[in-house]
Amino acid sequence: MARTLLRRRAGALAAAAAALVLTCAPTASAGPPDRAANQPRGHDVSSHQKRVDWQSAQDDGARFVYVKATEATGYRNPYFDQQYDGAREAGLIRGAYHFALPDRSSGARQAAYFVAHGGDWRADGWTLPPALDIEYNPYSARHKCYGLSKKKMTKWIWSFSDEIRRETGRRPVIYTTSQWWKLCTGDSRAFASTHPLWVARHGTSGPGRLPGGWRYWTFWQYDTAGRLPGDQNLFNGTAGRLRTFALGW
């Protein structure tokens, strides 16, 4: 995501030619893992990481992972099954994410494709809610917001979210950056009370100002490389709270 988009898009292009509702109480700003001893470490992966050694990741401290499943309605990560199932076998709590391309099709259609290709959820304590990865357009620097107005972008996200909830029973986690959210949704506050936030901000001691009315972050992607395969993340809570979040409580 974010700074790794170009690497991830290469895989996609080859195949074609990510309050209680928020699951966590406020905590002090957390830094990288060496300053967040009580916060579970995790990561996110895509086809770029190919066949991950999940036992090594678990040994290195991974407790959760998000795996890219789909993009738009024409791409599925060819390594998804190995990554998703392998993470579970190694004892990691895992979830799937969808990379949004709002200029390609409706939110509802992309959500349905996502659920049908790995983005489902079950209340087993091992499955994180589906995640929507929505950020700068990796295919056009001129159309950072995919050609959609702020109002239409907000409607697109709701369309995706409503379909995810209809099919899985949960609202999706939203992965984004504060800058993109402000530029492309007008810093909409419409999702903050019902959607957990996965915020990306790299190279800093904290996640910074949160987008769109969110008071708490649930996941923070703090770097694009580190001890775990893929991007580096923290969960804003304890290991027990992470399991509770997965269960949907």
**Active site amino acids:** 44, 133, 135
Cβ atoms of residues 111 and 71 within 8 Å: no
How far, in Å, are 22, 74, 112, 207 from residue 109 at the CA level? 25, 11, 5, 32
Closest CA to 173 of 130, 232, 118: 130
Residue 128 is encoded by which pair of tokens?
Answer: 């994180």
Q: What are the beta bridge partners of residue 44?
A: 66, 231
Cβ atoms of residues 214 and 173 within 8 Å: no
Closest CA to 177 of 151, 158, 204: 204
How far, in Å, are 32, 41, 133 from residue 37 at the CA level? 9, 9, 27
